[in-house]
């Protein structure tokens, strides 16, 4: 029987739709080669829709999106829309309503890509940031008292539930077990003593169940030094929502920029679809020009294939990306020298001519091969 997957495509704003079509191109090319089917449904949500009739997202949209096996997500954000409307109202709402409690962000230096860290080599940079994706500083709406007055007070507290913390920690241990067996907790336990203790205790409990995984702890500020200088120290880094947001941009810089940084918002309960999106935003300044690098979106599409249970296809897409990057390293830089569409064509062509061949052994230890094993059976 041919496997068939229904994909919701939410291109969103700015460069989102451009890079998403290239991700879709790679996914469809892989489907043809590896013999599975993909049906797509487009969702027109984002700034244009909001400016047209004030609609952001409602329960009916969420119910429609929930029917799909996965969501390919572009980017959201537009200077014409007040800050927070689309970020809190759409992205964060989707992550939370679809119970995508984990955000997986690989930090991998592909061969040929130049890192701003001068002497960094691909062998030294292959780690996963596992970001708690539903709470922490992101949960609370917060409140402001006496706004506009000298005595104004803004409240924005961090919410941490044992359930979410244990989930992200357990998932990270299971990932580490399938990789180099090293887990690092990144937090700020010396200042955020309550939230920090909850994470530290969850790690301690899980460590007892996974004695083969070596455990380490790094404060988030120190992480900003260790991550660029000695990324080889890290395999799986588990952290809270806001810290994960921040260190994953740092990770993206180290691996050659936001043009190559992918992510997966995972629902690990099988109660709804997971969502795959580049770490970068909508970059409205370059939208529509064909300058955006689609590699991050393509790699996010590959993470989607891996999660859905097509690891060979996922790995083939990653290899195709890596081979194109090796040939044309400028693709990882700010001035790619090729259009968004051209880069997507190169990846699809590479997939067709060399399905499954990587550049040497540089891609051993890819997350693409282990992701599906962490997914619960479909309800």
Sheet holding 214-219, edge to edge: 37-42, 4-12, 70-75, 274-278, 262-266, 102-108, 126-132, 236-239, 182-187, 214-219
**Contacts (CB under 5 A) with Mn ion, residues 186-225:** none
**Contacts (CB under 5 A) with Mn ion, residues 23-52:** none
Token pair recorded at residue 114: 């130049």
> In 10 A of CB 339, how many CB atoms?
15
Minimum separation from the CB atom of position 197 to ligand IPM (A): 24
Nearer CB in complex with Mn ion: 245/318: 245
Minimum separation from the CB atom of position 102 to ligand IPM (A): 13
Query: Cβ distance 359 to 109 under 8 Å?
Result: no
Token pair recorded at residue 376: 């619960």
By a kind-dependent CB cut-off of 5 to 8 A, residue 62 interacts, out of Mn ion, ligand IPM, none, with none
Minimum separation from the CB atom of position 92 to ligand IPM (A): 6
Q: Does 18 bind Mn ion (CB under 5 A)?
A: no
By a kind-dependent CB cut-off of 5 to 8 A, residue 91 interacts, out of ligand IPM, Mn ion, none, with ligand IPM
Nearer CB in complex with Mn ion: 103/274: 103
Nearer CB in complex with ligand IPM: 29/252: 252
Query: Cβ distance 16 to 24 under 8 Å?
Result: no
Give all strands (DSSP E) within the chain, no chain letters: 4-12, 37-42, 70-75, 102-108, 126-132, 143-145, 153-155, 182-187, 214-219, 236-239, 262-266, 274-278
Minimum separation from the CB atom of position 245 to Mn ion (A): 4
Residue found under tokens 């989607």: 304
Minimum separation from the CB atom of position 245 to ligand IPM (A): 4
Residues near ligand IPM (CB under 6 A): 87, 91-92, 245, 279
Instruction: Tell me the per-residue interface mask from 225 to 254 with Mn ion, x by CB under 5 A, - otherwise.
Output: --------------------x---------
Nearer CB in complex with Mn ion: 126/248: 248
CA 173, CA 182: separation in Å to the nearest integer?
A: 8
By a kind-dependent CB cut-off of 5 to 8 A, residue 92 interacts, out of Mn ion, ligand IPM, none, with ligand IPM
Residue found under tokens 């990057």: 325
Q: Does 69 bind Mn ion (CB under 5 A)?
A: no
Residue ranges that bind Mn ion, judged by CB under 5 A: 245
């Amino acid at each position: 029987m041919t496997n068939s997957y229904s994909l919701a495509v939410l291109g969103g704003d700015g460069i989102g739709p451009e890079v998403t079509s290239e991700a879709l191109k790679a996914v469809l090319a892989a489907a043809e080669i590896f013999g599975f089917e993909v049906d797509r449904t487009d969702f027109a949500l984002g700034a244009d829709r909001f400016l047209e009739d004030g609609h952001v997202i409602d329960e009916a949209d969420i119910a429609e999106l929930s029917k799909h096996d996965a969501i390919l997500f572009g980017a959201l954000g537009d200077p014409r829309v007040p800050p927070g409307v689309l970020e809190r109202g759409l992205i964060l709402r989707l992550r939370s309503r679809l119970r995508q409690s984990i955000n997986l962000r690989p930090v991998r230096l592909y061969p040929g890509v130049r890192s701003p860290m001068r002497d960094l080599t691909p062998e030294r940079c292959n780690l996963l940031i596992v970001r708690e994706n539903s709470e922490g500083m992101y949960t609370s709406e917060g409140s402001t008292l006496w706004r506009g007055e000298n005595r104004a007070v803004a409240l924005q507290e961090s919410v941490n539930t044992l359930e979410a913390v244990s989930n992200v920690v357990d998932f990270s241990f299971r990932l580490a077990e399938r990789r180099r067996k090293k887990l690092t907790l990144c937090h700020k336990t010396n200042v955020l003593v309550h939230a920090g203790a909850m994470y530290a205790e969850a790690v301690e409990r899980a460590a007892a169940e996974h004695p083969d995984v070596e455990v380490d702890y790094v404060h988030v500020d120190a992480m900003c030094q260790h991550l660029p200088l000695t990324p080889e120290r890290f395999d799986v880094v588990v952290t809270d929502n806001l810290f994960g947001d921040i260190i994953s941009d740092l990770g993206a810089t180290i691996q050659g920029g936001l043009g190559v940084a992918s992510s997966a918002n995972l629902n690990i309960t099988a109660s709804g679809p997971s969502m795959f999106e580049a770490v970068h935003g909508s970059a409205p300044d370059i939208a529509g020009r064909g300058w955006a690098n689609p590699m991050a979106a393509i790699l996010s599409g590959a993470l989607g294939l891996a999660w859905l249970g097509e690891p060979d296809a996922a790995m083939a897409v990653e290899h195709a990306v890596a081979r194109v990057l090796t040939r044309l390293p400028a693709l990882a830089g700010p001035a790619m020298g090729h259009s968004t569409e051209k880069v997507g064509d190169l990846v699809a062509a590479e997939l067709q001519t060399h399905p499954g061949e990587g550049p040497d052994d540089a891609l051993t230890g890819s997350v693409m091969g282990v992701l599906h094993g962490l997914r619960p059976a479909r309800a």
